[in-house]
Amino acid sequence: MNYRVLLVCMGNICRSPTAEGVLRHFIRINNLGDKVEVDSAGTHGYHVGEPPDARTQRAAAARGYNLSQLRARKVARQDLDYFDLILAMDRSNLDTLMRLADPDQQSRIRLFMEYARNFEDDEVPDPYYGLGHGFDLVLDMVEDAALGLIDEIKRQLGRGSQLR
DSSP line for 60-79: HHHTT---TT----B--TTH
Angle at CA of residue 80, ends 160 and 96, nearest 5°:
125
Q: Is residue 106 part of a domain?
A: yes
Q: Is residue 149 part of a domain?
A: yes
Question: E strands along 21-154, which residues?
Answer: 36-42, 85-88, 109-111
Cβ 72 vs Cβ 13: under 8 Å: yes
Angle at CA of residue 108, ends 107 and 110, nearest 5°:
90
Predicted pLDDT at 5: 97
Q: Is residue 58 part of a domain?
A: yes
Q: Is residue 47 part of a domain?
A: yes
Predicted pLDDT at 2: 80
- In terms of C-beta density within 10 A (0-12 exposed, 13-18 middle, 19 or more buried), how is residue 121 classed? middle
| Active-site amino acid positions | 9, 15, 126
Q: Please count the structural domains in the chain.
A: 1
Give the other-Cβ count within 10 Å of 72's Cβ.
24
Predicted pLDDT at 133: 81
We report the CATH number of the domain holding residue 127 as: 3.40.50.2300
Q: For the packed helices 54-62 and 133-159, what is the interaxial angle rounded to 10 degrees?
A: 70
Cβ 43 vs Cβ 10: under 8 Å: yes
Which residues form the domain of 114?
Answer: 3-159
Pairing of strands 85-88, 3-9: parallel
Global pTM value = 0.94
Q: For the packed helices 15-29 and 54-62, what is the interaxial angle rounded to 10 degrees?
A: 30
Q: Is residue 87 part of a domain?
A: yes
What are the pLDDT tens digits along the chain (164 aa)? Answer: 588 999 999 999 999 999 999 999 999 999 999 999 999 999 999 999 999 999 999 999 999 999 999 999 999 999 999 999 999 999 999 999 999 999 999 999 999 999 999 999 999 999 998 867 899 999 999 999 999 999 999 998 886 655 54
Predicted pLDDT at 44: 96
Q: Is residue 146 part of a domain?
A: yes
Q: Is residue 164 part of a domain?
A: no
Q: Is residue 7 part of a domain?
A: yes
